[in-house]
Structure 1
Amino acid sequence: MNLSTGRARGSATPVIRSVWSPTPRSLRGWALAAVAVNVLITVTGAAVRVTGSGLGCPTWPQCTPDSFVPAVHDEISPVNMAIEFGNRLLTFLVLVVGVACLLAAMRLLPRRRDLVRLAWLQPIGVAVQGLWGGLVVHSALNPVTVSMHFLFSVGMTAAAYALYARSGEGDAPVRLLVHRHIRALGAALIGAVAVLLVAGVVVTGTGPHSGDEMASRFSFDIETVARIHADVAYVVVGLTFALVFALYVTDAPERARRAALVLLGVELAQGVVGYVQYFLGVPAALVNLHVLGSTLVWVCTLRAAFALRTRDPREIPAEPTDPAEARDPVRA
């Protein structure tokens, strides 16, 4: 065995161990990687759309009618084909990380069924996304199918973040770190951000960046849906400000206050990007930045909500030391 081969094996060993002999910390690392790759493929999917590469690979699962990889096609730009195919390849990265999460959750000792269930959502989600991607292509980028493609990624990101948060906790019942009304405010904030994301995909499906000249658009008035989207954003920012205020006046844990404050900052930055892109005529680069911002708002919202509660390790009943207690369960 030469030196380079030995180094490669040595560097791969900790990665393999983190999956095959996992600890809660290594599982948490894989879950964070799942959050990252789901955000990445969401943003690159938006890049496919704003560059007009949505049908760069005009068939599915093949890229062209006679090839699984990009091939010369008279009617398609090689650049558009490469962009679309590159996004498809990222699916395998998401799958690899998702399978790693599942294996680590299943081999973690003691095994926790809640973590295994959450981990299963990653490979299942990739399979659903892959099949749905075929529907997107065969529907010629119908805005309904494209919108659902984005929302599926949002759901997978939420599942990955839940796995990340839960793998750092115990498996006892939920213990609130704040007043229950503040916890309810956090739940309302998650719902409002979800509505904001749905409103955002409606604006996207109505706007100019369809992904291809053949793609259809929603028939809504763009000014109306953009205003609705902005109104929901105001509600989200208002709820976030209320959460920040409530956490500070009640002297909530520092982690919760910091998470809410970061969320507010990300939302304000996202609002600036949204207004700038609107007044500049929706340039492609800012649209992609806005999509990145939307995923960061979603992740930061989940982070703020999970910071409002925790779970302690489940207590294992001590074994009786008195032989009489061991024989008499009523007395024990």
Structure 2
Amino acid sequence: MSRLTDRLRAFHMSYWAPTVRTMHRWALVAVIANAGITVTGATVRVTKSGLGCPTWPTCTPDSLIPVAHPEHSPINMAIEFGNRMLTFAVLFTALACLLAAIRLPQRRTSLVVLAWLQPVGVAFQALWGGLVVRTMLNPVTVSVHFVASIALVAACWALYARAGEGDGPAKPLVAPAARVIGSLLIVAVLTVVLAGVVTTGTGPHSGDVAASRFDFDLETVARIHGTSVYAVVALTAGLWLVLRATGAPARAVRASAVLFGVVLAQGAVGYLSWFLAIPAYLVALHVLGATLVWIATLNAFTSLRVRGPLATAPTDVLVATSRGS
């Protein structure tokens, strides 16, 4: 019992009386949580559970939680309601990040600003999710919902990266050519994501049989999506080669290699999905891959520069402990 009490107290202190290390950990948890709910949202869609709870903020017109409904199976209702409940876990993580940033012994404005984006972003996503349901999974609102998820993951990564470095001006660690390629990669990956969103919004997995689709030719948008992937592959390979050739730091070389591997795996899943007539399980896996590609891209990009070491006072832990007592 005492061990459990100690762990609960340590957990509480991690955000109420944080150190630099616990702040960094909470930021990483936020990245994972937001990436996770992005994937579970895709699971809702491919299982045709998007209208499992046909209204919002309640599940049905007469109940906050799932109850027997003639038009929706209990499984679909449970999947959609479960995904809604995950929002509270993501919100808790966001609030923990904000508290940790505010209560750091050496408060950093940059972290507080980035941390505020977490609960604001989660609140926006919750409200927009309600709009998605009320518009009967209109592909435009669904697409905005996913793009907002990607933006929130980027905000979480920015907080994670900033929590592990100082507040000095960004100083490049690599050759100018590598920096240019890194910037182009951000644009290219975002282009792939947007093309993928349109492709998915045109394809068969609408989230419910009653949902509308984009009125595009599926093969055409899929080809555009695939072509944009080639650009990402070429840029990623080019970044790795330039970093190796110019003696860049090992971290940057590793980050580009990881990105290259994730991009290749994601491309393989995409082509397999197309040739197998877009099965639901591969669509969900492809969304997971897209999220991982985005995170790996952000990791590669932030590895190209440094803001200097953290200004960590040796008394951080003592100050944090005294705060919580």
Give the TM-score range, shorter chain.
over 0.9
Superposed CA offset, 1:119-177 (max 9, x none): 11110001100110111001000000001111111011001011111110011111111
Q: Contact 2:40–2:83 (CA<8 Å) still a contact in 1?
A: yes
How many equivalent residue pairs?
A: 312
Match of 1:228 among 216, 224, 230: 224
d(CA) in 2 for partners of 1:7, 1:239: 50
The answer on 1:26 being equivalent to 2:40 is: no
SS where residue 291 of structure 1 aligns? helix
Q: Contact 2:164–2:310 (CA<8 Å) still a contact in 1?
A: no
d(CA) in 2 for partners of 1:253, 1:23: 28
**Residue in 2 that maps onto 1:320:** none
| Mapping for residues 39-188 of structure 1, pairs under 5 Å | 39-188=35-184
d(CA) in 2 for partners of 1:211, 1:187: 34
**Residue in 1 that maps onto 2:5:** 9
d(CA) in 1 for partners of 2:104, 2:309: 15
d(CA) in 2 for partners of 1:304, 1:313: 19
Match of 1:275 among 271, 274, 280: 271
Q: Contact 1:172–1:314 (CA<8 Å) still a contact in 2?
A: no
d(CA) in 1 for partners of 2:100, 2:229: 38
Q: Contact 1:106–1:116 (CA<8 Å) still a contact in 2?
A: yes
Deviation at 1:9, TM superposition (A): 2.3
Match of 1:210 among 203, 206, 209: 206
The answer on 1:248 being equivalent to 2:241 is: no
Deviation at 1:75, TM superposition (A): 1.4
**Residue in 2 that maps onto 1:258:** 254
Residue identity opposite 1:211 in structure 2: G
SS where residue 118 of structure 2 aligns? helix
Deviation at 1:17, TM superposition (A): 1.0
Which 5+ residue runs of structure 2 have no aligned equivalent?
312-325
SS where residue 270 of structure 2 aligns? helix
More displaced stretch, 179-188 vs 96-105: 179-188
Deviation at 1:185, TM superposition (A): 1.3
Residue identity opposite 1:277 in structure 2: S
Q: Contact 2:181–2:235 (CA<8 Å) still a contact in 1?
A: yes
Deviation at 1:313, TM superposition (A): 4.2
Superposed CA offset, 1:43-95 (max 9, x none): 00000000000000000000011111111111110000000000000100100
Residue identity opposite 1:93 in structure 2: A
**Residue in 2 that maps onto 1:191:** 187
d(CA) in 2 for partners of 1:116, 1:185: 30
Deviation at 1:188, TM superposition (A): 1.0
Q: Contact 2:34–2:152 (CA<8 Å) still a contact in 1?
A: yes
* Higher RCO (CA 8 Å, separation ≥ 6 residues): 2
Residue identity opposite 2:168 in structure 1: A
Query: What's the TM-score once normalised by structure 1's chain length?
Result: 0.92
Q: Provide closer, same or farther for how the CA distance between residues 314 and 126 of structure 1 changes in structure 2, counting only shifts above 3 A.
A: closer
Residue identity opposite 1:227 in structure 2: R
Query: Which structure has the larger Rg over C-alpha atoms?
Result: 1
Deviation at 1:314, TM superposition (A): 8.0
Percentage of identical aligned residues: 60
Q: Which runs of 4+ in 1 moved over 6 A?
A: none
Query: What's the TM-score once normalised by structure 2's chain length?
Result: 0.94
Q: Contact 2:33–2:90 (CA<8 Å) still a contact in 1?
A: yes
Which 5+ residue runs of structure 1 have no aligned equivalent?
316-332
Residue identity opposite 1:202 in structure 2: V
